[in-house]
Chain A
Amino acid sequence: MFRDARSVPRDATLETDVCIIGAGAAGITLALELTGSPLQVTVLESGGLQFEPETQALYEGPSIGLPYPDLSVPRLRFFGGTTNHWGGICRPFEEADFEPREGIPFTGWPITKSDVDPFYGRAASVVRLPSRDWSLDYWAPGDEPAPLPLRSEHIVSRVAQEVEPELRSFGAGYQDELRLAPNVTVLLHSNATGVTTDESGGTAESVQVATLEGNRFSVVARVFVLATGAVENARVLLASNTQWPRGLGNQHDLVGRFFLEHPRFLGGVIVPAAPHPNLGFYESHRVDGRRMQGYLASSKEFQLAEGFLDLQMRLELGYGDAPEDASDFARHLMTLAGDLDSWQEIAIPGAPIPIPYLDVIRDALKSPEDAYIYLRGRIESIGVTTRMEQAPNPDSRVVLVRERDQLGMQRVALDWRLSDVDRRNVRRTLELLGAEIGAAGIGRLQILHSGDETSWPEDLDGGQHHMGTTRMSDDPKQGVVDSDCRVHGMSNLFVAGSSVFPTPGGATPTLLLVALALRLADHLKGMMLR
């Protein structure tokens, strides 16, 4: 059932068993899993069913660290949350992604891949992935497109699957199912402004709700799950400071710290030895009708040996200049025809065997437009965009600021910071990629940033993957939530979403956060239905 918070009587107290705050990927997954159970579930969603600028503005918050967009840009605040503009790229975490890395503080999860594996299959169904096979054998069965023939074990090719664009929005995909769920109420336009506890401060009793129109009420529940994204999860906990002046779960000043991203920038450029290298594997394409794209990455063996976290590299093709238009092409051809060396560099992209040059000339003269396209297909450079697994850094954080939003809630600022090990990781991995590219005869790599630099490249950007601000650890001094995603020191307050990730891993976060939401749902059912 869907209701609108604007129609709830002012100062009312709504009662439920499970109160889920946030209807994004994690919150909707939890609600779906609890559908049909004896538990009454209330989902509080800040927005409506469509984008509303006034609601989105509640996210506004500046960046005071490394350059980063205003906080109202990366996430979406309406039913379905950020899945409403999700890129749909998925890959599961590997075993090593959960393990501590020697020499890198604060790494290691309190759970292992085997704890999550039972949920990945269901998670794949929830996000509507076309396949559960991640092997190169499945996704690159033939000669083309194929992974680059790199010879060492330092750099590997990996597969990421893409959810079809029309299936990516959880809001569109699961609205009907939740509307028909007899035990689930989705309360639109409900903004959680804080969680209040009992006198001991160890049990959450209610969540305070406000609407932009001025309505206020509260929701009392047996269990609360915060699922509003890594920035807002921290904000709500920090703002819930009635019993705990520093905020809920923040006895050790950890809430909001360890903000993580998948930072990326153009790290290098490959000049290929041949004009048409076989790089289709690294572009978005279909295999058996299923959409995927490949990318390069440092191998886990290399990471463990060198003391680095993961580094992924996407290849972006730069095409050579060509005549301004096809009508100029005949003249251009005549010039080229006099230069046999140049002709040797012309081939048909994707052709399984070289096509005789005379045929190319003949075809070109028949159809200059086609030949023009052939020339446009000549690849002169391959950009290497590096995307790293950011090392945990306690100074990279979300903090409350003085300014308040329209609901009177303190806004947050993002102080995003990286570490020296991140810089060393990019540098060293690119060095090895350069050697691999040279050894395989693919071309030569130029690293675009000096190892002596202390600043980050101007094109540094995040992957809009917010993580880490309520990190998971079984030690309350190291984490905000335990391995069941329960806030330390609280008996009935849980967190869902990638804010619990202590490290970002070598994959995009959505598939894992959905798997963790499924795991949390099982945990809650086990706990509440005993």
Chain B
Amino acid sequence: MTFPRRIRRRTFLLGAAGLGASLAWFGPTPFRGTSLSPSERLASLLQHVDGALGVGREYLRQVPAEASPKVLTARVAERLPGGLATIEATPDGHLRELLLSAAEEDFRDLRTTQVHGWVLARTEARLCALAALGVDQAPAQTRR
């Protein structure tokens, strides 16, 4: 079975945009401490922020009712055992595992959303949206 060159190229171009987002929080990130707010904490777990931003912005365009850190954080917290307190009190590594479990549970229960064609767990799309809000709502001088 061969993969046609024409398709492979298209695949790569399309895939490159979403790769960071779809697998955004697979991988190590440094421990950030507890000075971050819950929404900042969640967004900080994303490894490839650049890829996540595009996904997050599109998700917010599709679901404007969730365009607030508070709402998004609450929605993500609903999927975690212990809710909001878990986000505040759990070390990064364990929190990441909990989020991965939540995403897998989303997939199993068909709580998915499509962003630029990517079939994503609601939880991971919301994490991307939190990252997008964090950047877009930050004061201009602190934006990267």
Partners in one complex: yes
Bound CA span A437–B22, Å: 12
Known A-B contacts A316-B3, A383-B7, A435-B110; A269 and B14 likewise in contact (beta carbons under 8 Å): yes
Residues of A within 8 A of B32 (CB): none
* Residue of A whose beta carbon sits closest to that of B8: A318
The total of Cβ contacts below 8 Å across the A-B interface reads: 97
Q: A96 at the A/B interface (Cβ < 8 Å)?
A: no
Bound CA span A432–B107, Å: 9
Q: Are B119 and A445 in contact (CB under 8 A)?
A: yes
Kindly supply a per-residue 1/0 record for chain B positions 64-103, scoring 1 wherever the CB is within 8 Å of any chain A CB and 0 otherwise: 0000000000000000000000000000000000000001
Q: A439 at the A/B interface (Cβ < 8 Å)?
A: yes
Question: Shortest beta-carbon distance, A451 to chain B, in Å?
Answer: 8
Q: A105 at the A/B interface (Cβ < 8 Å)?
A: no
Kindly supply a per-residue 1/0 record for chain A positions 406-433, scoring 1 wherever the CB is within 8 Å of any chain B CB and 0 otherwise: 0000000000000000000000001111
Q: A448 at the A/B interface (Cβ < 8 Å)?
A: yes
Known A-B contacts A273-B23, A446-B119, A448-B117; A434 and B112 likewise in contact (beta carbons under 8 Å): yes
* Residue of B whose beta carbon sits closest to that of A379: B3
Kindly supply a per-residue 1/0 record for chain A positions 146-158, scoring 1 wherever the CB is within 8 Å of any chain B CB and 0 otherwise: 0000011000000
Bound CA span A438–B103, Å: 8
Bound CA span A199–B72, Å: 79
Residues of B within 8 A of A292 (CB): none
Q: A283 at the A/B interface (Cβ < 8 Å)?
A: yes
Question: Shortest beta-carbon distance, A447 to chain B, in Å?
Answer: 5
Bound CA span A443–B26, Å: 11
Question: Shortest beta-carbon distance, A286 to chain B, in Å?
Answer: 14
Bound CA span A271–B20, Å: 10
List B16-38 residues whose CB lies under 8 Å from chain A: 18-19, 22-23, 26-27
Interface band, chain B? 20 to 34
B12 contact from A284, A318, A439, Cβ within 8 A: A318
Bound CA span A437–B26, Å: 15
* Residue of A whose beta carbon sits closest to that of B120: A444
Q: B11 at the A/B interface (Cβ < 8 Å)?
A: yes
B7 contact from A432, A436, A449, A459, Cβ within 8 A: A459
Bound CA span A443–B120, Å: 10
Q: A333 at the A/B interface (Cβ < 8 Å)?
A: no
Q: Are B112 and A446 in contact (CB under 8 A)?
A: no
Kindly supply a per-residue 1/0 record for chain A positions 311-329, scoring 1 wherever the CB is within 8 Å of any chain B CB and 0 otherwise: 0001011110000000000
Q: A441 at the A/B interface (Cβ < 8 Å)?
A: yes
Known A-B contacts A318-B3, A381-B15; A151 and B108 likewise in contact (beta carbons under 8 Å): yes
List B121-136 residues whose CB lies under 8 Å from chain A: 121
Residues of A within 8 A of B108 (CB): 151-152, 435, 439
Residues of B within 8 A of A430 (CB): 119
Q: B104 at the A/B interface (Cβ < 8 Å)?
A: yes
Q: Are A316 and B1 in contact (CB under 8 A)?
A: yes
Q: A99 at the A/B interface (Cβ < 8 Å)?
A: no
Residues of B within 8 A of A151 (CB): 108
Which residues in A have some Cβ–Cβ distance to B below 8 Å? Answer: 151-152, 266, 268-269, 271, 273, 283-284, 293, 314, 316-319, 341, 380-381, 383, 430-439, 441, 443-450, 459
